[in-house]
Amino acid sequence: MRSLLLFAEMIVLLPISLMHPFVGVLIWDWISFMNPQQISWGFGSKPPWALIAFVFTVAGWVLSPVEPKKIAITPMIVLMALFVIGITINMPFALSSPAVEYDAWLRTTKIFVFLIITIALLTNKHRIDALIWMIIICIGYYILDQGGASIVTLGGHKAFGPPKSQITDNNSFAAAVLVIVPMMNYLRLQSRHKLIQAGFVLAMSISILVVLASYSRGALLGLIAVAGVFWLRSKRKVTSLVALGCTLSLGLAFMPQKWWDRMHTISNYQTQKSAENRLYIWRIAWDMAKRRPLTGGGFHFSLFQNVIDSFVPGGNRLEIHSIWFQMLGEQGFVVFFIWLGMILAGLFESWRVLRVTRGMPQFSWASDLARMGQISILAYAVTGTFLPISSWDVFFTMLAVISATRMVVTRELAAARSTPEKLAWHPAPIAPAMGRFSGASVRAR
C-alpha cells in the first residue's frame, strides 16, 4: 500500500517538476531527507527516485522560460563549489578502497551540486517557506513515529532516524531533531493559523521527548546548550523560560530509571569505553591530517584496518565520531577550512540579515529565520562534535536557505531603494526613526 502510494505520488509530481522546477527541488529533498522508498517495501521503492528527480529538475530548470539561469556568486555558493572541487581533487589520493571512496564522493557531490541549484531556485519567501516545510514534514514524520513509540512504551523505546541515511543511529537522529527544532519555531512564528501554531508547539515538545528518548548523552548536552541559546535569542524571555522549563521537566519526569542510569555515566566519562574510543579515533584523525595535510585519508579511511595499523598496529577500526575531526582527517586542512567556511558563511549571512532588517517589520520573517538559523548552526556544531555527520544534507540545505534569504532580502531592499514612491509604511511619527533610511522606512511589496 505504501509502495503504491509512493509510486502514484511520484508519477503525478515528477511531470509537474518539468513545468515548475522548484517542485523538483522539493521532491529531491523529500526523497533525500525522509527516505520514503526505504519504508515502502515494494515495487515503488525500486526506482532511483532521487536520480529521476535530479534529472527532471535540471531539465525543467534549463527549459523554463521564467526561472533565472544565472547563479549568483555568493560566498556560500563559491564555498560549496570549492568544496566539491576539493573532494574531487582528493579522491585519487584516498587511502580507503576506490569503491567506498567513489560512493561517498558521488553522494556528497550530488548533495552539494543540487544545493547550488536549490539556492538558484530559492527566489522568494514563498519558496523558502515551502522548503522549510518540506524539511519539517520529512524529519517530522520520524519525530512523530519515534515519539509515539516512546510515549506508548513509557520511554522504553530508543528513537532512531530514517533507515539507510546519515542520521539512522540514535545519536545522529537526536542531533538532527535538535537542529530542526528552531526551524519549527520559525514556522510557528510565521504561521497564519492558530491550529498550526498549536501543532508546532506540540511537535516541538515531542521533539524534546524524542531527543531524550534517543538515550544519547551527547544529545542531552546539546539539548541543554540549544535550550540556553534558544532562551537567550527569544524575544519573550519569561514566557520562553516557563515553556522550556515545563517541557524539559515533563520530558525528564517521563523517562524511566534506565535512562537516568545511562545519563549518570556522563559524570565519569573517563571510565566509559565510548568516550575512550572517541578520543582514540580523534587522535588518529588528527595524525592523519598532519601526515597528509593537503588530501587527508579519504572518506571512511578509519574503517580500513591497513590504514589504522599504520598509526596504531592492531588498533580498532571506528567511524570518526566528530564532524570536526572527521572532515579534517578525511579531507585534510584545505577542504576542512572550506567546509568550516560554509558554516561561518551561514553564521555571517544570518547575522547580516539580522543587521539589515533591524527595525523593519516587513522583513520580520527574515529576521526570525536568521535568528532560528543561528540556533540550528549552534546545535549542529555542539552535537556534531560527537557525531559523524560532517556532510549531513539537511544541515547544508538549511545553510542554503539562510544564504537564499540573504539574497532575497538584499534584492527586495535594492528594489525598495529604486522605487521610493511605492514605499510607505506606518507614516506615524516613529517611522522615520525605525528604518535604516533617514526620512522613510520601506515596505517592499
Partner 1 sequence: MSSFIYLVAMLAVAWLVLWAIRDPKEPKWDWWPIEWWPFDTDTEAKMEQEGAEARQAAASAGHRRAVPWRERSGRSRRTTDAGKPRWRR
For binding to partner 1 (CB under 8 A), which residues are involved?
1-2, 5-6, 9, 12-13, 16, 20, 22-23, 26-27, 30, 34, 36, 39, 125-127, 129-130, 133-134, 137-138, 140-141, 144-145, 148, 189-193, 196, 359, 361-362, 364-365, 425-426, 428-430, 433-434, 438, 443
Rank residues 99 and 195 by Cβ distance to partner 1 and give the closer one.
195
**CA 50 vs CA 2, 103, 109: distances in Å:** 18, 15, 14
Rank residues 17 and 322 by Cβ distance to partner 1 and give the closer one.
17
Asked if residues 308 and 280 have their Cβ atoms less than 8 Å apart, the reply is no
Rank residues 369 and 399 by Cβ distance to partner 1 and give the closer one.
369
Rank residues 70 and 192 by Cβ distance to partner 1 and give the closer one.
192
Rank residues 185 and 390 by Cβ distance to partner 1 and give the closer one.
185
Which cell is 257 given?
A: 530509571
Q: Which residue stretches of 20-161 are H helix?
A: 21-34, 49-63, 75-90, 98-121, 125-152
Please give the Cα distance from 408 to 247 (Å, whole number).
35
Rank residues 25 and 379 by Cβ distance to partner 1 and give the closer one.
25
CB of 2 to partner 1, least distance (A): 6
CB of 34 to partner 1, least distance (A): 7
CB of 6 to partner 1, least distance (A): 7
CB of 167 to partner 1, least distance (A): 17
Q: Which amino acid is at 443?
A: R
DSSP 292-339: STTT-S-TTGGG-HHHHHTTSTTPPP-----HHHHHHHHHHHHHHHHH
Asked if residues 380 and 327 have their Cβ atoms less than 8 Å apart, the reply is no
The answer for residues whose C-beta is within 8 angstroms of residue 264's C-beta and 6 or more apart is none
Rank residues 134 and 308 by Cβ distance to partner 1 and give the closer one.
134
Asked if residues 408 and 369 have their Cβ atoms less than 8 Å apart, the reply is no
Q: Which residue matches cell numbers 524511566?
A: 256
SS3 track for 145-180: HHHHHHHHCCCCCCCCCCCCCCCCCHHHHHHHHHHH
CB of 235 to partner 1, least distance (A): 10
CB of 290 to partner 1, least distance (A): 45
Which cell is 202 given?
A: 506540540
Rank residues 46 and 426 by Cβ distance to partner 1 and give the closer one.
426
- 381 by Cβ neighbours in 10 Å (0-12 / 13-18 / 19+) ranks as middle
CB of 373 to partner 1, least distance (A): 16
CB of 420 to partner 1, least distance (A): 18
Rank residues 193 and 273 by Cβ distance to partner 1 and give the closer one.
193
DSSP 228-280: HHHHHH-S-HHHHHHHHHHHHHHHHHHS-HHHHHHHHTTTTGGG-HHHHHHHH
Q: How many CB atoms lie within 10 A of CB 225?
A: 17
CB of 74 to partner 1, least distance (A): 23
Q: How many CB atoms lie within 10 A of CB 53?
A: 25
CB of 26 to partner 1, least distance (A): 6
Rank residues 88 and 239 by Cβ distance to partner 1 and give the closer one.
239
CB of 125 to partner 1, least distance (A): 7
Please give the Cα distance from 308 to 306 (Å, whole number).
6
Rank residues 9 and 287 by Cβ distance to partner 1 and give the closer one.
9
Asked if residues 280 and 318 have their Cβ atoms less than 8 Å apart, the reply is yes
Asked if residues 99 and 373 have their Cβ atoms less than 8 Å apart, the reply is no
